[in-house]
Amino acid sequence: MLLDKTILELAAGLRSGEFTSVDLVNECYDNIEKYNPQVNAFITIIPKEVALKNAQEVKLNSPLSGLPFVLKDCFVTEGIKTTAASKVLENFIPPYSATIYKKLLDAGAILVGKMNMDAWGHGGSTENTDFGVTKNPWDTSRVPGGSGGGPAVAVSARMAVFAIGEDTGGSIRNPAAWTNTTGLKVTYGRVSRYGAIAYASSFDTVGPVAKTSEDCAVILETIAGLDNLDATSSPKPVPAYSSLLDKKMSEIVIGVPKEFYQDGLDPEIKAAVLQVSTELKKSGAVIKEISMPLFDLCLPVYYLIAPSETSSNLARYDGIRYGHGRDCFTDETTRRILIGTYALSAGYYDAYYKKAQQVRTLFIEEYQKALSQCDILLQPITPNNPPKFGELLSDPLQNLLADIYTVSQNPVGVPSLALPCGFTKSGLPIGAQIVGKMFTEELLLSVGHQFQKTTNYHLQKPKL
């Protein structure tokens, strides 16, 4: 299957004439026709004739030229429906495009679909959607993670070469762990957020979901960089990530924060994640146990600041501009709006929102201290295996706890790479994340690449 190849292998094959972009698009649509009815990953499928026309006309001017990709449906696309998986935007056709989409089109990539998600990014399972739940291709009775379940499922089931997601508190990494894909939460500001429908503006990041760390490196070279339309985007130069993947592991110190491996972490996940450190040690890395005592505060800080920002961001959806009113919000979205509005209200602002921002500053110091003792941190992504449908919806607290290992990085702004690292006895995927200092994506991608050179977890596919 062509879609099993890496991006660089596909680029080489296209240039040599071994196959064409039309072949890739046809294979994508064959898989969409075969698998999407089982998993419901797409909200909008681009008409096949449109994708084929783009494939026939493509000029091979970048490694992404001619490659079919998908977008989480939180990125506005001129002339193509964009819903954020909410009935509020059920018929919204944007008049402009997100920077990320324009960059990929300029690189010659071919959009084949807009993907399902938890509405507005609110959830960790892709069940809080108004367009039908997305199912995990490894076990269709289970959730694929969220909020970006659709993009991860598309890559896992080979319905696209790569996907673009948005990570506010684990929305790329959580589904990557549960679908056996590789996903990158970038440093805040590394990739433009212009045209991304906001969840929590000071946490939101845009990044790739793909089969390998090398694929993520190639994609990041194209999508990263300063954007004059996004005042929070960084002017730092963009490294040639894909040519920096062979760093010697003997120079790397990997910190293992003990607080991330205590009660509440599934034993199989704990063993698989710690096995990553064993593999990297074989490659010459130094493993060092460290402490991050503020870990217990990450959930309350995240779930005060993020809902506060979302209550502000969603105020514009009043039924006048976009057609549908706020009565169309899901229960989870309503819950987060109420929490955020309460935290920002007179008499409670100092006690909740302001206090959470103060602890956020302590988190930044905590990560700085931890990363002064090592080069990267090895952490779990999820505490449990993918739940069956309804388990998280029936218990809102469990829904929040699904993010416990992924919500501390976004308030700090540091990058994190999610890697497949094993399977449970029942055959469900397990993921680990490696976290680095701000703007050290090249280090994370290099470590991920070295790990994937000595393991084959990332090569396994679901048997739909």
- Only one residue has tokens 């080069």, namely 375
pLDDT at site 83: 97
| From 21, 86, 147, 311, active-site residue | 147
Q: Would the CA dihedral through 379, 384, 385, 386 be positive or negative?
A: negative
Annotated domain spans of the chain: 2-459
Catalytic (active site) residue 72: yes
Task: Return d(Cα 330, Cα 71) in angstroms, integer.
Answer: 22
- pTM score over 0.85: yes
pLDDT at site 402: 83
**pLDDT band of 151, cuts 50, 70, 90:** very high
Percent of the chain surpassing pLDDT 70? 100
Distances (CA, A) of 110 to 3, 53, 67, 163, 272: 14, 10, 6, 11, 36
Q: Could you tell me whether strands 376-380 and 429-436 are parallel, antiparallel, or unpaired per DSSP bridges?
A: antiparallel
| In CATH, 2-459 is 3.40.50.300 | no
pLDDT at site 318: 84
For residue 324, pLDDT beyond 90? no
pLDDT at site 68: 98
Catalytic (active site) residue 345: no
pLDDT at site 259: 96
Going by C-alpha positions, the residue among 210, 209, 204 that lies closest to residue 190 is 204
Q: Mean per-residue pLDDT for 208-226? A: 98
For residue 399, pLDDT beyond 90? no
pLDDT at site 396: 74
Q: Could you tell me whether strands 253-257 and 376-380 are parallel, antiparallel, or unpaired per DSSP bridges?
A: parallel
**Phi, psi for residue 419 in degrees, rounded to 5:** -130, 135
Q: Mean per-residue pLDDT for 135-142? A: 98
**pLDDT band of 326, cuts 50, 70, 90:** confident
| From 72, 87, 102, 211, active-site residue | 72
Q: Mean per-residue pLDDT for 326-333? A: 92
Q: Which two tokens stand for residue 355?
A: 């206090």
Instruction: Output the average pLDDT for the chain.
Output: 96
pLDDT at site 50: 98
| From 171, 213, 242, 311, active-site residue | 171
Catalytic (active site) residue 171: yes
pLDDT at site 319: 82
